[in-house]
Amino acid sequence: MWSGTHPAQWSAPNPEGFARAFGLHPLWVHPDTLADDLAQLFTRLSDTSSAVGEVGLDRRAEASLELQLQALAPQLQFATTQTRALILHVVRAHEPLLSMLKELGVTRFMVHGFNGSPELARRYVDCGGLLGIGGLLTRHTPRLHEVIRQLPLSAFVLESDAPDLPPRGAAVSDPTDLPNTGLIVAQLKGCTVLEVARQTRENALTLFGLPIVQSSSRPRAQ
């Protein structure tokens, strides 16, 4: 999944044919351009069947939380009425985001780069969401490790967020990091990497409405 987070990225070419998402990221919310940016975004989304994202709330952003909420609400409403998946970005703003999800009845989403507590994780999953797990898992993150231990595999998708959120020891992240992330998940869950790969892949394809193609090959006996 390739996510465009601001106007310049919404028109970027896609020669590889990746599944795409388009959204106005909170770091790109500006009062002078908000109305025009949203109009351009919804035109772009209406011409495709793409997911909506990354969108959300970020207390580090230049825009006030109030303005971010004004930008977020119509994007959530569009995704809900058009039955689109959402990729959510949230930094130190979980309570207002959870309130808006419940208020608007949003149930088809993933929380990108999740790094919260098991209790917070359950609140998102109880709303119907999935948790995006990536390079942060390879760092010293005991709280995130506990999230993996406590929640079922059906709660997770694996992500790279390339080039951001790199794994420990790397300068940037890359999709080729996913097998190592999956290995750590398997170790924490006490299951095989193949189980992690199968379940998280199915979770992602179901979330984004992509076809699940069953492989005809069988794993070799060990």
Question: Cis omega before residue 15 (within 30°)?
Answer: no
**Matching CATH topology for 1-106 and 112-209?**
yes
Residue position matching structure tokens 């979980």? 94
Mean per-residue pLDDT, 50-76: 98
Of the listed ranges 4-13, 28-37, 206-215, the one predicted with least confidence: 206-215
Distance (Å, whole) CA 44 – CA 37: 11
Domain ranges in the chain are 1-106, 112-209
Question: What is the distance of C-alpha 161 from the center of its chain?
Answer: 9
Side chain identity, residue 189: K
Q: Give the contacts of 127 (CB within 8 A, at least 6 positions apart).
A: 98, 101, 102, 106, 107, 109
Query: 107: left (phi > 0), else alpha (psi -120 to 50), else beta?
Result: alpha
Using CB atoms within 10 A of its CB, is residue 83 exposed (0-12), middle (13-18) or buried (19+)? exposed
Separation in Å, CA 66 to CA 26, 31, 75: 11, 11, 15
pLDDT (tens digit, 9 = 90+) per residue, 22-47?
A: 999 999 999 999 999 999 999 999 99
Answer whether residue 218 shows pLDDT above 50.
no
Q: To the nearest whole percent, how much of the chain has pLDDT over 70? A: 95
Q: What is the pLDDT of residue 214?
A: 60
Q: CATH fold of 1-106, please?
A: TIM Barrel (3.20.20)
Second-level CATH architecture of 112-209: Alpha-Beta Barrel (3.20)
DSSP H stretches of helix in 22-166: 34-46, 65-81, 94-104, 118-126, 142-150
Q: What is the pLDDT of residue 15?
A: 80
Average pLDDT of the chain, as a whole number:
94
pLDDT (tens digit, 9 = 90+) per residue, 147-194?
A: 999 999 999 999 999 999 999 999 999 999 999 999 999 999 999 999
Answer whether residue 74 shows pLDDT above 90.
yes
